[in-house]
Structure 1
Protein backbone atom coordinates (compact mmCIF):
# COMPACT_ATOMS: atom_id res chain seq x y z
CA UNK A 1 0.00 0.00 0.00
CA UNK A 2 1.34 3.41 -0.98
CA UNK A 3 1.19 5.75 1.98
CA UNK A 4 1.30 8.88 -0.14
CA UNK A 5 4.27 10.34 1.75
CA UNK A 6 6.99 8.83 -0.44
CA UNK A 7 6.91 5.33 0.99
CA UNK A 8 5.32 1.97 0.41
CA UNK A 9 4.20 -0.32 3.22
CA UNK A 10 3.75 -4.05 2.74
CA UNK A 11 1.80 -5.92 5.42
CA UNK A 12 2.95 -9.51 5.72
CA UNK A 13 0.19 -11.54 7.33
CA UNK A 14 0.76 -15.15 8.24
CA UNK A 15 -0.52 -17.64 5.70
CA UNK A 16 -3.58 -19.66 6.76
CA UNK A 17 -1.49 -22.84 6.96
CA UNK A 18 0.82 -21.21 9.54
CA UNK A 19 -1.74 -19.49 11.78
CA UNK A 20 -2.06 -22.64 13.94
CA UNK A 21 1.41 -22.03 15.45
CA UNK A 22 0.52 -18.84 17.41
CA UNK A 23 -2.77 -20.40 18.49
CA UNK A 24 -0.92 -23.49 19.73
CA UNK A 25 1.51 -21.26 21.66
CA UNK A 26 -1.39 -19.52 23.41
CA UNK A 27 -3.00 -22.87 24.29
CA UNK A 28 0.34 -24.09 25.67
CA UNK A 29 0.63 -20.93 27.78
CA UNK A 30 -2.85 -21.49 29.24
CA UNK A 31 -1.98 -25.12 30.04
CA UNK A 32 1.23 -23.92 31.70
CA UNK A 33 -0.72 -21.39 33.83
CA UNK A 34 -3.13 -24.10 34.99
CA UNK A 35 -0.19 -26.39 35.82
CA UNK A 36 1.54 -23.67 37.84
CA UNK A 37 -1.64 -23.02 39.82
CA UNK A 38 -2.04 -26.70 40.70
CA UNK A 39 1.64 -27.11 41.65
CA UNK A 40 1.58 -24.05 43.92
CA UNK A 41 -1.36 -25.50 45.83
CA UNK A 42 0.25 -28.98 46.07
CA UNK A 43 2.64 -30.37 48.72
CA UNK A 44 5.74 -28.95 47.02
CA UNK A 45 4.07 -25.65 46.27
CA UNK A 46 6.78 -23.16 47.05
CA UNK A 47 9.72 -24.84 45.33
CA UNK A 48 7.69 -26.30 42.48
CA UNK A 49 5.76 -23.09 41.91
CA UNK A 50 8.92 -21.01 41.75
CA UNK A 51 10.57 -23.47 39.37
CA UNK A 52 7.52 -23.65 37.11
CA UNK A 53 7.13 -19.87 37.13
CA UNK A 54 10.76 -19.29 36.14
CA UNK A 55 10.63 -21.96 33.43
CA UNK A 56 7.44 -20.43 32.05
CA UNK A 57 8.91 -16.99 31.35
CA UNK A 58 10.49 -18.03 28.02
CA UNK A 59 7.27 -19.84 27.12
CA UNK A 60 5.29 -16.67 27.81
CA UNK A 61 7.65 -14.57 25.67
CA UNK A 62 7.36 -17.02 22.76
CA UNK A 63 3.57 -17.22 23.08
CA UNK A 64 3.08 -13.46 23.21
CA UNK A 65 5.47 -12.71 20.36
CA UNK A 66 3.98 -15.36 18.09
CA UNK A 67 0.38 -14.45 18.97
CA UNK A 68 1.17 -10.84 18.12
CA UNK A 69 1.39 -11.90 14.45
CA UNK A 70 -2.36 -12.53 14.53
CA UNK A 71 -3.16 -9.09 15.93
CA UNK A 72 -0.56 -6.88 14.25
CA UNK A 73 1.13 -8.42 11.21
CA UNK A 74 4.76 -7.87 10.34
CA UNK A 75 5.19 -4.93 7.97
CA UNK A 76 7.96 -3.62 5.77
CA UNK A 77 8.01 0.03 4.74
CA UNK A 78 10.22 0.94 1.80
CA UNK A 79 11.19 4.60 1.43
CA UNK A 80 14.14 6.85 0.61
CA UNK A 81 15.82 5.98 3.95
CA UNK A 82 15.76 2.19 3.54
CA UNK A 83 13.66 -0.74 4.69
CA UNK A 84 11.79 -0.24 7.93
CA UNK A 85 10.79 -3.55 9.47
CA UNK A 86 8.09 -3.54 12.14
CA UNK A 87 7.80 -6.83 13.93
CA UNK A 88 4.44 -7.45 15.61
CA UNK A 89 5.79 -7.17 19.17
CA UNK A 90 8.88 -5.02 18.60
CA UNK A 91 9.46 -1.37 17.72
CA UNK A 92 10.04 -0.54 14.06
CA UNK A 93 13.67 -0.56 12.97
CA UNK A 94 15.10 0.92 9.79
CA UNK A 95 17.81 -0.84 7.82
CA UNK A 96 19.36 2.01 5.81
CA UNK A 97 20.18 1.56 2.14
CA UNK A 98 23.86 2.03 2.96
CA UNK A 99 23.80 -1.27 4.90
CA UNK A 100 21.96 -3.21 2.17
CA UNK A 101 24.04 -4.76 -0.61
CA UNK A 102 21.25 -6.47 -2.59
CA UNK A 103 17.60 -7.48 -2.56
CA UNK A 104 16.81 -10.58 -4.57
CA UNK A 105 14.43 -13.43 -5.11
CA UNK A 106 15.90 -16.84 -4.46
CA UNK A 107 15.55 -19.00 -7.56
CA UNK A 108 13.10 -21.86 -7.55
CA UNK A 109 11.59 -24.17 -10.15
CA UNK A 110 8.12 -22.65 -10.22
CA UNK A 111 7.97 -19.54 -8.10
CA UNK A 112 10.35 -17.66 -5.79
CA UNK A 113 9.97 -18.77 -2.19
CA UNK A 114 12.26 -16.22 -0.54
CA UNK A 115 12.87 -12.49 -0.79
CA UNK A 116 16.44 -12.00 0.43
CA UNK A 117 17.83 -8.74 1.77
CA UNK A 118 21.63 -9.06 1.93
CA UNK A 119 23.25 -6.67 4.39
CA UNK A 120 26.83 -5.48 4.74
CA UNK A 121 26.60 -5.21 8.52
CA UNK A 122 24.50 -6.79 11.27
CA UNK A 123 20.84 -5.88 11.07
CA UNK A 124 20.83 -3.59 14.08
CA UNK A 125 17.82 -3.22 16.30
CA UNK A 126 16.05 -6.41 15.21
CA UNK A 127 16.37 -9.38 17.55
CA UNK A 128 18.41 -12.34 16.27
CA UNK A 129 15.44 -14.60 16.96
CA UNK A 130 12.97 -12.71 14.74
CA UNK A 131 11.73 -14.78 11.81
CA UNK A 132 13.37 -12.78 8.96
CA UNK A 133 16.86 -12.81 10.56
CA UNK A 134 16.67 -16.41 11.74
CA UNK A 135 15.46 -17.62 8.33
CA UNK A 136 18.34 -15.80 6.61
CA UNK A 137 20.91 -17.41 8.91
CA UNK A 138 19.29 -20.82 8.46
CA UNK A 139 19.26 -20.57 4.65
CA UNK A 140 22.50 -18.63 4.07
CA UNK A 141 24.61 -21.69 3.31
CA UNK A 142 21.98 -23.24 1.03
CA UNK A 143 21.65 -19.97 -0.88
CA UNK A 144 25.45 -19.66 -1.27
CA UNK A 145 25.92 -16.72 1.06
CA UNK A 146 29.26 -16.21 2.83
CA UNK A 147 29.70 -17.65 6.31
CA UNK A 148 28.18 -15.41 8.97
CA UNK A 149 26.41 -13.30 6.37
CA UNK A 150 23.76 -10.97 7.73
CA UNK A 151 20.42 -10.14 6.24
CA UNK A 152 16.69 -10.72 6.18
CA UNK A 153 14.69 -13.46 4.50
CA UNK A 154 10.97 -13.11 3.90
CA UNK A 155 9.48 -16.55 3.20
CA UNK A 156 6.44 -16.80 0.96
CA UNK A 157 5.50 -20.09 2.65
CA UNK A 158 5.14 -18.30 6.00
CA UNK A 159 3.98 -14.81 5.03
CA UNK A 160 1.31 -13.81 2.53
CA UNK A 161 3.81 -12.00 0.34
CA UNK A 162 3.99 -11.21 -3.35
CA UNK A 163 7.74 -11.26 -4.09
CA UNK A 164 7.32 -9.19 -7.25
CA UNK A 165 5.53 -6.48 -5.26
CA UNK A 166 8.36 -6.27 -2.74
CA UNK A 167 11.04 -6.16 -5.46
CA UNK A 168 9.02 -3.47 -7.26
CA UNK A 169 8.83 -1.35 -4.10
CA UNK A 170 12.57 -1.71 -3.56
CA UNK A 171 13.29 -0.73 -7.16
CA UNK A 172 11.10 2.35 -6.77
CA UNK A 173 12.89 3.67 -3.66
CA UNK A 174 16.39 2.14 -3.62
CA UNK A 175 19.36 4.27 -4.58
CA UNK A 176 20.86 3.82 -8.03
CA UNK A 177 23.25 0.90 -8.10
CA UNK A 178 21.51 -1.33 -5.56
CA UNK A 179 20.76 -4.69 -7.08
CA UNK A 180 17.07 -5.59 -6.82
CA UNK A 181 16.26 -8.55 -9.02
CA UNK A 182 16.02 -12.30 -9.35
CA UNK A 183 19.24 -14.08 -8.45
CA UNK A 184 19.35 -15.35 -11.99
CA UNK A 185 19.67 -11.73 -13.16
CA UNK A 186 16.13 -11.31 -14.46
Structure 2
Protein backbone atom coordinates (compact mmCIF):
# COMPACT_ATOMS: atom_id res chain seq x y z
CA UNK A 1 0.00 0.00 0.00
CA UNK A 2 1.20 3.48 -0.77
CA UNK A 3 1.03 6.34 1.72
CA UNK A 4 1.68 10.04 1.54
CA UNK A 5 3.19 11.16 4.85
CA UNK A 6 3.55 14.76 5.98
CA UNK A 7 6.43 14.85 8.45
CA UNK A 8 6.77 17.90 10.70
CA UNK A 9 9.92 18.26 12.78
CA UNK A 10 10.21 20.51 15.83
CA UNK A 11 13.69 20.58 17.32
CA UNK A 12 13.50 21.27 21.08
CA UNK A 13 14.99 24.50 22.40
CA UNK A 14 18.51 24.01 23.65
CA UNK A 15 19.40 21.36 21.07
CA UNK A 16 22.86 22.06 19.70
CA UNK A 17 23.61 22.40 15.99
CA UNK A 18 25.93 19.41 16.35
CA UNK A 19 23.09 17.25 17.72
CA UNK A 20 20.83 18.35 14.87
CA UNK A 21 23.54 17.58 12.30
CA UNK A 22 24.12 14.12 13.79
CA UNK A 23 20.42 13.21 13.69
CA UNK A 24 20.07 14.56 10.14
CA UNK A 25 23.07 12.51 9.01
CA UNK A 26 21.56 9.35 10.52
CA UNK A 27 18.19 10.23 8.95
CA UNK A 28 19.74 10.58 5.49
CA UNK A 29 21.48 7.19 5.83
CA UNK A 30 18.27 5.56 7.05
CA UNK A 31 16.33 7.13 4.16
CA UNK A 32 18.78 5.54 1.71
CA UNK A 33 18.21 2.16 3.40
CA UNK A 34 14.42 2.58 3.19
CA UNK A 35 14.71 3.51 -0.50
CA UNK A 36 16.89 0.45 -1.17
CA UNK A 37 14.23 -1.74 0.49
CA UNK A 38 11.46 -0.13 -1.60
CA UNK A 39 9.75 1.51 1.39
CA UNK A 40 10.61 5.15 0.66
CA UNK A 41 9.70 6.01 -2.92
CA UNK A 42 9.96 9.82 -2.97
CA UNK A 43 10.74 12.69 -0.61
CA UNK A 44 9.98 16.41 -1.05
CA UNK A 45 9.81 19.68 0.81
CA UNK A 46 6.61 21.73 0.55
CA UNK A 47 6.69 25.52 0.84
CA UNK A 48 7.90 26.40 4.33
CA UNK A 49 7.18 29.32 6.59
CA UNK A 50 9.71 30.82 8.99
CA UNK A 51 10.96 28.22 11.46
CA UNK A 52 9.10 25.34 9.76
CA UNK A 53 10.79 22.04 9.03
CA UNK A 54 8.51 19.74 7.03
CA UNK A 55 8.86 17.02 4.44
CA UNK A 56 6.38 14.98 2.42
CA UNK A 57 7.25 11.39 1.72
CA UNK A 58 5.74 8.73 -0.52
CA UNK A 59 6.05 5.36 1.20
CA UNK A 60 5.13 1.82 0.26
CA UNK A 61 4.44 -0.53 3.15
CA UNK A 62 2.36 -3.59 4.02
CA UNK A 63 -0.30 -1.69 5.97
CA UNK A 64 -0.80 1.01 8.62
CA UNK A 65 0.97 -0.92 11.40
CA UNK A 66 3.98 -1.69 9.20
CA UNK A 67 4.12 1.96 8.10
CA UNK A 68 4.10 3.08 11.73
CA UNK A 69 7.03 0.76 12.48
CA UNK A 70 8.89 2.15 9.46
CA UNK A 71 8.28 5.76 10.51
CA UNK A 72 9.07 5.08 14.18
CA UNK A 73 12.49 3.68 13.23
CA UNK A 74 13.53 6.89 11.45
CA UNK A 75 16.04 8.91 13.53
CA UNK A 76 14.19 12.25 13.18
CA UNK A 77 11.07 10.69 14.74
CA UNK A 78 12.39 11.79 18.14
CA UNK A 79 11.42 15.35 17.14
CA UNK A 80 8.87 14.66 14.43
CA UNK A 81 5.13 14.08 14.10
CA UNK A 82 3.81 12.19 11.08
CA UNK A 83 0.47 12.49 9.31
CA UNK A 84 0.02 9.51 6.96
CA UNK A 85 -2.67 9.38 4.29
CA UNK A 86 -3.47 6.04 2.69
CA UNK A 87 -3.51 6.28 -1.09
CA UNK A 88 -5.88 4.10 -3.07
CA UNK A 89 -5.47 2.87 -6.62
CA UNK A 90 -6.86 5.12 -9.34
CA UNK A 91 -7.88 3.60 -12.68
CA UNK A 92 -6.11 6.38 -14.59
CA UNK A 93 -2.80 6.11 -12.67
CA UNK A 94 0.07 5.81 -15.17
CA UNK A 95 1.80 3.43 -12.75
CA UNK A 96 4.97 3.50 -10.70
CA UNK A 97 8.02 4.19 -12.79
CA UNK A 98 6.08 4.70 -16.03
CA UNK A 99 6.62 8.48 -16.26
CA UNK A 100 10.20 9.56 -15.51
CA UNK A 101 10.93 12.54 -13.28
CA UNK A 102 12.28 15.29 -15.55
CA UNK A 103 15.19 17.47 -14.44
CA UNK A 104 13.78 20.50 -16.29
CA UNK A 105 10.38 20.41 -14.55
CA UNK A 106 8.98 21.36 -11.19
CA UNK A 107 6.82 18.89 -9.27
CA UNK A 108 3.42 19.50 -7.70
CA UNK A 109 0.93 17.57 -5.59
CA UNK A 110 -2.53 18.35 -6.91
CA UNK A 111 -5.63 17.36 -4.96
CA UNK A 112 -8.89 17.63 -6.82
CA UNK A 113 -12.55 16.82 -6.52
CA UNK A 114 -14.97 16.62 -9.41
CA UNK A 115 -18.32 18.18 -8.61
CA UNK A 116 -20.15 17.65 -11.88
CA UNK A 117 -22.80 15.38 -13.29
CA UNK A 118 -22.52 11.66 -12.77
CA UNK A 119 -19.86 10.07 -14.97
CA UNK A 120 -17.68 13.18 -15.25
CA UNK A 121 -14.97 12.23 -12.73
CA UNK A 122 -11.32 11.56 -13.47
CA UNK A 123 -12.18 7.85 -13.52
CA UNK A 124 -14.79 8.40 -16.26
CA UNK A 125 -13.80 7.40 -19.80
CA UNK A 126 -13.17 11.04 -20.78
CA UNK A 127 -11.25 11.75 -17.55
CA UNK A 128 -9.19 8.58 -17.90
CA UNK A 129 -8.33 9.41 -21.52
CA UNK A 130 -7.22 12.92 -20.52
CA UNK A 131 -5.10 11.47 -17.68
CA UNK A 132 -3.51 9.06 -20.17
CA UNK A 133 -2.79 11.92 -22.56
CA UNK A 134 -1.05 14.09 -19.95
CA UNK A 135 0.89 11.07 -18.65
CA UNK A 136 2.06 10.38 -22.22
CA UNK A 137 3.19 14.03 -22.38
CA UNK A 138 5.24 13.38 -19.22
CA UNK A 139 3.15 15.71 -17.03
CA UNK A 140 1.15 13.32 -14.82
CA UNK A 141 3.56 11.07 -12.90
CA UNK A 142 1.12 9.29 -10.55
CA UNK A 143 -2.57 9.44 -9.61
CA UNK A 144 -4.34 8.00 -6.53
CA UNK A 145 -7.72 8.13 -4.83
CA UNK A 146 -7.93 9.58 -1.33
CA UNK A 147 -9.70 7.75 1.53
CA UNK A 148 -13.02 9.58 1.14
CA UNK A 149 -13.13 8.46 -2.55
CA UNK A 150 -14.62 11.82 -3.52
CA UNK A 151 -11.17 13.23 -4.13
CA UNK A 152 -8.01 12.23 -5.93
CA UNK A 153 -4.41 13.36 -5.65
CA UNK A 154 -1.80 13.38 -8.35
CA UNK A 155 1.90 13.97 -8.67
CA UNK A 156 2.44 16.28 -11.64
CA UNK A 157 5.43 17.91 -13.29
CA UNK A 158 5.59 20.98 -15.49
CA UNK A 159 8.14 23.63 -16.47
CA UNK A 160 6.38 26.04 -14.11
CA UNK A 161 3.16 26.89 -12.30
CA UNK A 162 1.63 28.69 -15.30
CA UNK A 163 2.07 25.65 -17.54
CA UNK A 164 0.62 23.38 -14.84
CA UNK A 165 -2.44 25.66 -14.58
CA UNK A 166 -2.93 25.42 -18.36
CA UNK A 167 -2.81 21.63 -18.16
CA UNK A 168 -5.17 21.42 -15.19
CA UNK A 169 -7.69 23.83 -16.71
CA UNK A 170 -7.92 21.93 -19.98
CA UNK A 171 -9.71 18.69 -20.63
CA UNK A 172 -13.27 17.42 -20.32
CA UNK A 173 -13.80 17.81 -16.54
CA UNK A 174 -11.94 21.09 -15.94
CA UNK A 175 -15.08 23.13 -15.31
CA UNK A 176 -16.36 20.73 -12.64
CA UNK A 177 -13.15 20.31 -10.71
CA UNK A 178 -11.85 22.07 -7.59
CA UNK A 179 -8.07 22.01 -7.37
CA UNK A 180 -5.55 22.49 -4.56
CA UNK A 181 -1.92 22.64 -5.70
CA UNK A 182 1.18 22.30 -3.53
CA UNK A 183 4.52 23.11 -5.20
CA UNK A 184 7.27 20.70 -4.19
CA UNK A 185 11.03 21.01 -3.91
CA UNK A 186 13.11 17.84 -4.13
CA UNK A 187 14.48 16.79 -0.76
CA UNK A 188 18.23 16.06 -0.63
CA UNK A 189 17.37 12.46 0.38
CA UNK A 190 14.82 11.93 -2.42
CA UNK A 191 15.53 8.50 -3.95
CA UNK A 192 14.06 9.37 -7.39
CA UNK A 193 16.25 9.18 -10.44
CA UNK A 194 15.97 12.33 -12.52
CA UNK A 195 16.16 12.06 -16.33
Structure having the larger proportion of residues in helix:
1
Specify the TM-score bucket, using the shorter chain as the normaliser: 0.3 to 0.5
**Higher Cα Rg: structure 1 or 2?**
1
Q: TM-score, normalised by structure 2?
A: 0.31
Q: Normalising by the residue count of structure 1, what TM-score does the alignment of the two structures yield?
A: 0.33
